[in-house]
Amino acid sequence: AQTVTQSQPEMSVQEAETVTLSCTYDTSENNYYLFWYKQPPSRQMILVIRQEAYKQQNATENRFSVNFQKAAKSFSLKISDSQLGDTAMYFCAFRRVDDKIIFGKGTRLHILP
Amino acid sequence: DTAVSQTPKYLVTQMGNDKSIKCEQNLGHDTMYWYKQDSKKFLKIMFSYNNKELIINETVPNRFSPKSPDKAHLNLHINSLELGDSAVYFCASSPAGGRQPYEQYFGPGTRLTVT
């Protein structure tokens, strides 16, 4: 069975610093998709970034980038120049070929002023 | 325009009651989902429908019954509500069959409180 593990339940960093959230997953599939979602206090689930497993190039969206290591089944999220508005729960997610998405338990990120 | 909408956003009810949560998406997606997020923020899939057909049915009590009148709507009906049903329920949609975009679009969530 596929699993998604986020080993950091909670993290705090100072504004403007860079922070990396870790995620590992377990699967026997070769083609799949990975995502990072953000859930601010408003509770809305917001897509931060996505990665197709068949692409070797790491995805980047402005201040957000990933380090995708397919062989190691690792998918970490780096937030550069962190801002107060980045404070949220961050969920790593894995989408199987049958369209089912499995979420990690989340990392609560606090950006401190 | 709201992409995925849910009603109501808040629902407070007593044990034993029956309630429904409605979900609609205007993205033209084929697949819709229901997720439950518990008090520890763990997000778990409950059901998915593809073009009105049930695809995923996780281990969910029979008291929960999804209904999809058309591919733009997926409602969740809950019978005989229990205290443990208190959670935030999210509806989501996505294209099916590996078509882009691959991510799911989420509704705003419905916070259900059973007293």
Q: pLDDT digit string (tens) for A37-61? A: 999 999 999 999 999 998 889 999 9
| Among A1-15, A89-103, B74-88, the least confident range | A89-103
Confidence of residue B101 (pLDDT cuts 50, 70, 90): low
Please give the angle made by the CA atoms of B107, B111 and B113, to the nearest 5 degrees: 160
Contact of B106 with chain A, judged by CB distance below 8 Å, is answered with yes
**By three-state DSSP, how is residue B85 classified?**
helix
Q: Residue B51 pLDDT more than 90?
A: no
Q: In whole angstroms, what is the distance from residue B11 CA to residue A67 CA?
A: 40
Tell me, yes or no, if B103 comes closer than 8 A to chain A by beta carbon.
yes
Nearest to B43 among A52, A103, A108 (CB): A103
On the CB side of B35, how many CA atoms lie within 13 Å of its CA? 23
Give the minimum alpha-carbon distance from B66 to chain A in angstroms, rounded to a whole number.
17
pLDDT at B103 over 90: no
For residue B53, is pLDDT > 80? yes
**Rounded CA separation B29/B51 (Å):** 9
Would the CB atoms of B44 and A103 count as touching at under 8 Å?
Answer: yes
Beta bridge partners, B26, equal none
pLDDT confidence bin for B99, thresholds 50/70/90: low
Quote the tokens at residue A67. Answer: 């380090």
> In the predicted model, is pLDDT for residue A99 greater than 80?
no
The residue of chain B with its CA nearest to that of A6 is B42
Long-range CB contacts (< 8 A, 24+ apart) of B63-71?
A: B66/B34, B68/B32, B71/B29, B71/B30, B71/B32
